[in-house]
Amino acid sequence: MNAAAEKSSRQQKDPERHARVGAAYALGAFVIWGFIPVYFKAVAEVPLLELLAHRTLWSMMFVAATIIIADRHNAVRALLWNPRLLVKMFGTAAILAVNGLIFIWAIANGQVLQSSLGYYINPLVNVLLGYFFLNERLNGLQMGAVALAAVGIAIPVVGLGEFPWIALSLAGTFGMYGLLRKTADIDAVTGLFIETVLLAPVALVFLVYWNIAGGAVFTERGLGLDALIVASGVATALPLILFTQAAQRLRLGTVGFFQYLAPTCHFALAVFVYGEDFTPHHLATFALIWTAIAIYTTDTVRRSKKRRLGERA
């Protein structure tokens, strides 16, 4: 019996344990993502582009070690011989870099609340992307949820004159990233490795130039900060690997519940730890977004139960 067959056999014999393990992986992934602003606050003195470049290189090394341990060489080799898929992965790599740049800038500039809003509305952005690009139909409740979210986003624009570009940029770029990855037949770990490999030359050239120009922080501010910079690779790759393991063991709807842990942690950090402004306009925005999420999630669960009942009949 091969490894895949043995794994499937274990899943069938003890599905509850399998689900518990999946839930532990999901909890680990989203808790790390939820408290990642604490890490980026700790390295706020590192120039933004330098940190992004180090994040790319150390992520590549961490994921490369994971691929070696998991013996996924064949998946990497197959992808390297697929030009069309490589072009798509280059697109996802570029989008991921932009998303990371916006996120790190937001944390460094006291905009954790906006990052929270962005990742709260991301599932609803995914619904719209599915409608426009994958011909996924929207029912009345889903359309209502999207409309509520739109009203919520409009409130700070009208009331405060603030356009939530950070939130919309984070939700939009991560949504596009998910859309492209959904249409690419490649697992998350291999995909992340290829993405970092594609970005690595740019990151390396920038770091060499930055060191020659004398603006680099790495190796100049002590071992503590250097260790934190190196840890950016683990902080980037580890939660994604945990998420992949969770997705293999849990229903997509269950994973969807866990995904709200991260922006909830961001929200708590922004309001109760970092003391960011939280006006009545912000409260109204988040209240409408939370209501939209509740409608969308309830509808998803209802439809999932109905589908399972139909399959049993």
Residue 272 pLDDT greater than 80, yes or no = yes
Which residue in the block uniquely carries the two structure tokens 């949504």? 175
* Predicted confidence (pLDDT) per residue in 247-268, tens digit: 777 765 567 678 889 999 999 9
- pTM (2 d.p.): 0.84
Q: What is the arithmetic mean of pLDDT over 36-44?
A: 94
Contact 50, 209 (CB under 8 A): no
Per-domain residue ranges for the chain?
A: 14-312
User: In whole numbers, what is the pLDDT of the chain averaged over residues?
Assistant: 85
Q: Is the pLDDT of residue 131 over 90?
A: no
**How much is the pLDDT for 313?**
61
Percentage with pLDDT > 90 across the chain: 41
Q: Which of 103, 107, 50, 98 is nearest to 230 (CA)?
A: 50
User: What 8-state DSSP symbol labels residue 219?
Assistant: T
| H helical segments located in the chain | 3-13, 15-42, 48-70, 73-80, 83-108, 112-133, 140-160, 165-182, 188-213, 223-249, 252-258, 261-268, 280-312
Total number of residues shown for the chain: 313
Share of the chain above pLDDT 70, in %: 92
Mean pLDDT to the nearest integer, 228-235: 93
Does 203 have pLDDT greater than 80?
A: yes
Secondary structure of residue 25 in the 3-state scheme: helix
Token digits for 280?
């009545």
| pLDDT (average), residues 67-96 | 87
Q: How confident is the model at residue 311 (pLDDT cuts 50, 70, 90)?
A: low
